[in-house]
C-alpha cells in the first residue's frame, strides 16, 4: 500500500507520530474525504473485501465504500502508521433491523497510544452519518455536531459495546463484540450485502460524507443534510456534479454507457419510491 498516496488522498501531510492528536486528525480527514457509498454496487461485478484492494481503489479516487471497505482500508492505513488496531464484529440497529451482532458491520478499536496508554478508542468511519472523530471506549454521552452519541455496554452480546445514535440519524444504534475478528469473518455478509438484489446497498444508490459539523446525504436523487430539506436532483448533470463536488466521487473511470446506466438506475429507484408514497 502506498501510504504517502493514501495520506495525500485524504489531504494530510507526511504522517505524524501515532498519538491521540494524530489519530483524531486522521479520522476527521478520512471521513471528510472518503464517502460512504453504495454507488459501486449499482453496476454489478465484484467489489473487494480485502482491505488492501479497498485502499487501492480509494487512493485512486474510484470509490469510497461501505463499512467493510472503509474501515478495512482505514485499519491497514492505521497499522502502517504504527497504531495498534483491533477489528470487531458488529451489527446495526435500524427501524427494520433489531439490535444484534451478526458480522454485518466492521468496527475498529485502537489502543496502546503513548499519550493515553490506558484508553481504548472506538474508531468507526463506516456508519455513513456516524462519528467525526474517535470516542474513548467508556460509557458516556458525546457531542459531535450535528449529533449526540451515547456509548454503553451492549445488551445483546456479552462484554460488548453499544453506540446509541442521535434520534436525527439514519440508524438507532450499533452493537459490537469486544473479541477480535478477522476479515474472513465478514465474507458471507459482504457477499450478500454487495451482490444480492435484496440488499439495501444494491436496491438504493446512496452516498454520505461527513463535515466538521454536518453530514451530506444522497439517497436516490435526493440530496439533504439532517437539518435541511431535501433537494431533488432531477437532471443527470446535477446528479453527477453532486457526486463529484460534494461526495468526492468523480466516477471518471466509468464509460459514458456505464454512467447512463447508473443514472437510469437511480432514476428508476426514485420513481419507485415516489410511486410508493402515493399508493
**Rounded mean pLDDT of 18-47?**
94
Select from 279, 34, 186 the least CA-distant residue to 194: 186
- Rounded Cα distance between 238 and 202, Å, is 22
**Rounded mean pLDDT of 194-202?**
94
Identify the pLDDT of residue 277. Answer: 83
Calculate the dihedral angle through the C-alpha atoms of 13, 142, 248, 254, rounding to the nearest 10 degrees.
120
**Rounded mean pLDDT of 161-185?**
95
Identify the pLDDT of residue 215. Answer: 96
Select from 59, 7, 8, 65 the least CA-distant residue to 38: 65
Of 3-7, 190-194, 220-224, 225-229, the range with the lowest mean pLDDT is: 225-229
Binned at pLDDT 50, 70 and 90, residue 46 comes out as confident
Identify the pLDDT of residue 56. Answer: 96
Q: Which three cell numbers stand for residue 27?
A: 479520522
Binned at pLDDT 50, 70 and 90, residue 170 comes out as confident
Q: Is-contact 11 26, C-beta < 8 A?
A: no
How far is CA 211 from each of CA 13, 32, 208, rounded to the nearest angstrom? 19, 5, 10
Look at the block and give the residue holding cell 464484529.
89
- Rounded Cα distance between 61 and 248, Å, is 8
Calculate the dihedral angle through the C-alpha atoms of 255, 268, 246, 169, rounding to the nearest 10 degrees.
-140
Helix ranges (H only) for 81-224 are 187-195, 200-203
Identify the pLDDT of residue 227. Answer: 86
Using the predicted structure, report yes or no on whether residue 89 has a pLDDT greater than 80. yes
Percent of the chain, pLDDT > 70? 100
Element housing 272 (H / E): helix 256-277
Identify the pLDDT of residue 92. Answer: 96
Identify the pLDDT of residue 273. Answer: 87
The count of C-alpha atoms lying within 13 angstroms of the C-alpha of 162, restricted to the half-sphere facing its C-beta, is 16
Using the predicted structure, report yes or no on whether residue 196 has a pLDDT greater than 90. yes
Identify the pLDDT of residue 187. Answer: 97
Using the predicted structure, report yes or no on whether residue 45 has a pLDDT greater than 80. no
Q: Is 224 helix (H, G, I), strand (E, B) or coil?
A: strand
**Rounded mean pLDDT of 22-44?**
96
pTM listed for this prediction? 0.95
- Taking only the tens place, the pLDDT of each residue in 234-256 is 999 999 999 999 999 999 989 99
Average pLDDT, the chain: 95
How far is CA 39 from each of CA 240, 256, 273, rounded to the nearest angstrom? 11, 15, 17
Amino acid at each position: 500500500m502506498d501510504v504517502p498516496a493514501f495520506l495525500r488522498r485524504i489531504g494530510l501531510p507526511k504522517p505524524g507520530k501515532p498519538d491521540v492528536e494524530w489519530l483524531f486528525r486522521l479520522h476527521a480527514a478520512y471521513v471528510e474525504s472518503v464517502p460512504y457509498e453504495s454507488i459501486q454496487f449499482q453496476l454489478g461485478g465484484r467489489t473487494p473485501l480485502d482491505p488492501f484492494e479497498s485502499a487501492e481503489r480509494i487512493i485512486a479516487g474510484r470509490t469510497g465504500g461501505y463499512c467493510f471497505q472503509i474501515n478495512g482500508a482505514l485499519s491497514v492505513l492505521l497499522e502502517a502508521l504504527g497504531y495498534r488496531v483491533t477489528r470487531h464484529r458488529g451489527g446495526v440497529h435500524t427501524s427494520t433491523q433489531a439490535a444484534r451482532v451478526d458480522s454485518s458491520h466492521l468496527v475498529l478499536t485502537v489502543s496502546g497510544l503513548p499519550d493515553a496508554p490506558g484508553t481504548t478508542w472506538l474508531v468507526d468511519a463506516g456508519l455513513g452519518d456516524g462519528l467525526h472523530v474517535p470516542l474513548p471506549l467508556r460509557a458516556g454521552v458525546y457531542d459531535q455536531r450535528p449529533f449526540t452519541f451515547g456509548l454503553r455496554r451492549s445488551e445483546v452480546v456479552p462484554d460488548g459495546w453499544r453506540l446509541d445514535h442521535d434520534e436525527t440519524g439514519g440508524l438507532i444504534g450499533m452493537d459490537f463484540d469486544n473479541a477480535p475478528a478477522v476479515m474472513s469473518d465478514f465474507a458471507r455478509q459482504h457477499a450478500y450485502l454487495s451482490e444480492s438484489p435484496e440488499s439495501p446497498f444494491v436496491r438504493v444508490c446512496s452516498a454520505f460524507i461527513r463535515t466538521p459539523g454536518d453530514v451530506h446525504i444522497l439517497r436516490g436523487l435526493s440530496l439533504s443534510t439532517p437539518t435541511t430539506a431535501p433537494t431533488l436532483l432531477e437532471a443527470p448533470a446535477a446528479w453527477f456534479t453532486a457526486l463529484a463536488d460534494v461526495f468526492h466521487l468523480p466516477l471518471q473511470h466509468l464509460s459514458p454507457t456505464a454512467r447512463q446506466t447508473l443514472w437510469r438506475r437511480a432514476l428508476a429507484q426514485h420513481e419507485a419510491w415516489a410511486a410508493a408514497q402515493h399508493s
